Amino acid sequence: MMGENEDRTLHNLKICRAITDESIETYHGRVFGSAGDSLIAEFASPVDSIVAAVEFQKNLRDRNNEVAPEDQCSSG
């Protein structure tokens, strides 16, 4: 993606990061490290971490269903 359109890629990464951050914050998590397009978050509760991950993946899927393939983000 970056090689094709840097501005578009950075815009999409920013949107996907906002989706991630919202899920983490909603379930009482905290991002304590990031590099490039990756991040590390911690949660006081293992249940909250799983619920946040499931919500994040659902929200990302919903967004991907509404945008062009070249604007989609994935996790894994």
pLDDT in the model for residue 24: 97
Q: What is the DSSP letter of 1?
A: -
Query: What domains, with CATH codes, occur in the chain?
Result: 6-67 (3.30.70.1230)
pLDDT in the model for residue 31: 96
pTM: 0.82
Rg (CA), the chain: 13
CA–CA gap between residue 34 and residue 11 (Å, rounded): 17
pLDDT in the model for residue 37: 81
Listed as ranges, residues in the chain with pLDDT below 50 are 1-2
pLDDT in the model for residue 41: 96
pLDDT in the model for residue 2: 46
DSSP 24-62: HHHTTEEEEEEETTEEEEEES-HHHHHHHHHHHHHHHHH
CA–CA gap between residue 12 and residue 4 (Å, rounded): 13
